[in-house]
């Protein structure tokens, strides 16, 4: 009897823990050392590990207390300059002024050189064979050279975007850009409504694609051939072999768009997988903030203390007026702040953001408008004041303003009066809290959780191969996909037919006029000639 009981126990253990023949082995390589980007990647890899798949990760960030099947096989920490708490507001301005060139070279081409690390070379030359990898996952952003690893291993490739759809991987997937009404990620608008906005949207999209291809094409192809295989295809060809892309978006927030089945929304996955808790002293401070808390951060990279001194003093004055309401500010180095910090303000060099937004006493979120921050705030129905600095932060905040869940501010022009007015509006006008609650309900209401969505589509691709979801549009030139050749041909036919009609009418009119000339006039003319 004891033998039978033991057998049942062990069978139950294996089934509950997802161990068995159903689990796949997945290699995930994330070369960009952004904390916020990595949060999305961790959400995906943790979800897969919890569903019984063996996930081997190459990353700059080692997970604390990882799931059982999750393993960091190469830790890239220290191989790149630190980005956490390392951007000044002035550098953010610089990035915004030359964003495609900067991200393509500094956070794209340079990342490809990580394949030259000894540990990466060993992985590439001697990948695990017991069992072999079934799938390769990497980031969809500015270093598509890493797709070459999946190509070398002859396994399907899935990419993850931590932002909304970008023009270059939309083209690779054959995913419609819907330029008539969807603002691309590098427009400072949330929607397209006028002719001039459509014109700007089209020009901006083709400009960003052209720049990205120019800066990355040759450099990243050469890197793959140097570190992976001399016969590796061009990087633009490899981009089109991606089976699908998971995108950190959701239609209730980012808007309804035409999408190929290979572009799959998973907005909120990092929230579902987040298990962080507040430190006891911060938890106590939040619990005691019965009049409410305003949380202020410019994200994991940009330093609040690099704002202009007059801007910080204006923010101080607005915060002081709100007492006894409290303010929590993420400040990397408090000593670099100007003197005069109000007594109702607490600073911390790092704040676990999701537990703060989840707390019942949090009333307002003052944010840079990054995609993770905005989705976290929506998820926990906290109204916002947005200070966008660069890239997709501008359309993100504009979307929130349109939904009555945020107020847009410009850090360059903010004053004590403007910020006080905005704070009072968000705190006291019920439309912001009600709209935030409504958007939270919409964001959470879906047939599958983001984690379930990821697991299903990963297993689907492994079962059915990388080409099942592939759009034929991926093989077309953009002007073919937009039917410009067809419209051009029809326009040419119309012009030819119109020209024939006009020529015919002119001929008929001339004939009628000639026949209508009196015969005596003709005779008179003839007589004069004689």
Residue 410 confidence (pLDDT):
92
- Compute how many other C-beta atoms are within 10 angstroms of the C-beta atom of residue 98: 12
Task: Give the model's pLDDT for residue 390.
Answer: 84
Tokens of 141: 């952003």
pLDDT at 130: 84
Q: Please provide the DSSP assignment of 474-528 as one string.
A: GGS-HHHHTTHHHHHHHHHHHHHHHHHHHHHHHHHHHHHHHHHS-HHHHHHHHHH
Residue 38 pLDDT > 80: yes
At residue 3, the pLDDT reads 47
Q: What local confidence, expressed as pLDDT, does residue 16 receive?
A: 40
pLDDT digits (tens, 9 = 90+) for 495-528: 999 999 999 999 999 988 888 766 555 555 554 5
Residue 239 binned pLDDT confidence (cut-offs 50, 70, 90) = very high
What pLDDT shows up at residue 527?
Answer: 45
Token look-up 């938890």 returns 283
**147: nearest Cα among 248, 221, 258:** 221
Residue 522: its pLDDT value, please? 53
Q: What is the pLDDT of residue 520?
A: 58
- Reported as a pLDDT band with limits 50, 70 and 90, residue 41 is very high
* Nearest one of 346, 312, 349, 310 to 331, comparing CA atoms: 349
pLDDT of residue 65: 87
Res. 150 pLDDT band, cuts 50 70 90: very high
3-state SS, one letter per residue, for 155-185: CCEEEEECCCCCHHHHHHHCCCCCCCCCCCC
For residue 287, give every residue at least 6 positions away whose Cβ sits within 8 Å of its Cβ, in sequence order, or none.
361
User: Does residue 8 carry a pLDDT above 50?
Assistant: no
CA–CA distance, 277 with 307 (Å, rounded to integer): 29
Lowest mean pLDDT segment, chosen from 142-151, 178-187, 289-298: 178-187
- In sequence order, the β-bridge partners of residue 327 are 294, 345
**Per-residue pLDDT at 19 exceeds 80:** no
The pLDDT-based confidence of 9 (bands split at 50, 70, 90) is very low
Q: Note the pLDDT of residue 188.
A: 79
By percentage, how much of the chain surpasses pLDDT 70?
Answer: 93
Query: What 3-state class would DSSP assign to 64?
Result: coil
Residues 6+ apart with CB under 8 A from 128: 25, 27, 56
Of residues 449 and 301, more confidently modeled: 449
CA distances from 310 to 6, 170, 235, 338 (A): 71, 42, 47, 9
pLDDT tens, position by position, 367-422: 999 999 999 999 999 999 999 998 888 989 999 999 999 999 998 899 999 999 99
- Looking at residue 12, what is its pLDDT? 41
Q: Give the percent of the chain with pLDDT over 90.
A: 75
How confident is residue 151, by pLDDT bands cut at 50, 70 and 90?
Answer: very high
**pLDDT at res. 230:** 96
Query: pLDDT tens digits, residue range 162-204?
Result: 988 899 999 999 999 889 998 888 887 888 899 999 999 999 9
For 244, the 3-state DSSP assignment is strand
Q: What is the pLDDT of residues 86-139, one digit of tens each?
A: 788 888 877 777 789 999 999 999 999 999 999 999 999 998 888 999 999 999
Predicted pLDDT of residue 160:
97
Q: Phi and psi for 55 in degrees, rounded to 5?
A: -115, 115
The length of the chain in residues reads 530
What's the rounded Cα separation, in Å, for the pair 62 and 74?
9
Region 246-269: mean pLDDT is 94
Higher local confidence (pLDDT), 530 or 477: 477
How far does CA 348 lie from the centroid of its chain?
A: 27
How far is 292 from 285, CA to CA, in rounded Å? Answer: 11
Average pLDDT, stretch 62-79?
93
| Highest-scoring range by mean pLDDT, 4-8, 47-51, 301-305 | 47-51
Cα separation of 180 and 196, whole Å? 11
* Phi, then psi, of 477 in degrees rounded to 5: -70, 155
Name all contacts of 179-182 with Cβ < 8 Å and 24+ positions apart: 179/205, 182/255, 182/257
User: What is d(CA 364, CA 293) in angstroms, rounded to the nearest whole number?
Assistant: 7
pLDDT (0 to 100) of residue 71: 95
């Amino acid at each position: 009897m004891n033998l039978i009981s033991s057998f049942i126990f062990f069978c139950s253990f294996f089934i509950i823990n997802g161990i068995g023949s159903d689990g796949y082995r997945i290699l995930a390589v994330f070369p960009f050392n952004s904390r916020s980007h990595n949060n999305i990647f961790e959400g995906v890899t943790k979800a897969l590990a919890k569903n019984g798949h063996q996930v081997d990760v190459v990353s700059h960030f080692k997970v604390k207390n990882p799931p059982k099947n999750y393993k960091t096989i190469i830790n890239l920490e220290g191989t790149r300059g630190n980005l956490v708490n390392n951007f000044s507001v002035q550098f953010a301005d610089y990035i915004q002024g030359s964003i495609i060139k900067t991200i393509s070279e500094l956070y794209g081409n340079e990342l490809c050189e990580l394949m030259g690390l000894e540990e990466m070379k060993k992985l590439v030359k001697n990948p695990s064979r017991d069992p072999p990898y079934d799938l390769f996952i990497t980031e969809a952003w500015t270093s598509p050279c890493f797709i070459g690893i999946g190509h070398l291993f002859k396994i399907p490739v899935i990419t993850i975007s931590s932002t909304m759809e970008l023009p270059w991987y939309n083209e690779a997937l054959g995913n419609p850009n819907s330029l008539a009404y969807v603002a691309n990620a590098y427009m400072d608008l949330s929607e397209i409504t006028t002719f001039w906005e459509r014109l700007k949207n089209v020009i901006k999209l083709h400009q960003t694609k052209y720049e990205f291809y120019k800066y990355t094409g040759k450099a990243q192809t050469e890197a793959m051939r140097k570190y992976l295989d001399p016969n590796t295809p061009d990087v633009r060809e490899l981009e089109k072999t991606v089976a699908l892309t998971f995108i950190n978006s959701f239609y209730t927030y980012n808007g309804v768009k035409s999408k190929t089945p290979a572009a799959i929304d998973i907005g909120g996955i990092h929230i579902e997988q987040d298990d962080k808790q507040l430190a006891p002293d911060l938890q106590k401070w939040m619990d005691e903030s019965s009049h409410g808390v305003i949380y202020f951060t410019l994200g994991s990279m940009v330093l609040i203390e690099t704002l202009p001194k007059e801007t910080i003093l204006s923010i101080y004055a607005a915060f002081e007026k709100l007492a006894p309401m409290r303010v929590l500010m993420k400040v990397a180095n408090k000593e670099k702040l100007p003197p005069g910090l109000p007594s109702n303000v607490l600073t911390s060099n790092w704040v676990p953001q999701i537990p703060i937004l989840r707390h019942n006493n949090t009333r307002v979120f003052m944010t840079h408008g990054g995609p993770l921050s905005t989705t976290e705030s929506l998820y926990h129905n906290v109204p916002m004041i947005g200070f966008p600095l660069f890239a997709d932060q501008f359309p993100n905040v504009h979307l929130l303003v349109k939904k009555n869940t945020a107020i847009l501010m410009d850090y360059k022009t903010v004053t004590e009066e403007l910020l006080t007015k905005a704070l009072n509006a968000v705190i006291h006008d019920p439309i912001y809290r009600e709209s935030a609650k409504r958007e939270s309900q919409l964001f959470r209401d879906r047939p599958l959780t983001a984690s379930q969505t990821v697991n299903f589509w990963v297993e689907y691709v492994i079962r059915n191969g990388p080409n099942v979801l592939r759009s034929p549009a991926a093989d077309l030139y953009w002007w073919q996909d937009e039917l410009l050749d067809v419209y051009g041909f029809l326009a040419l036919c119309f012009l030819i037919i119109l020209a024939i009609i006009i020529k015919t009418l002119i001929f008929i009119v001339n004939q009628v006029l000639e026949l209508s000339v009196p015969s005596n006039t003709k005779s008179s003319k003839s007589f004069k000639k004689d």
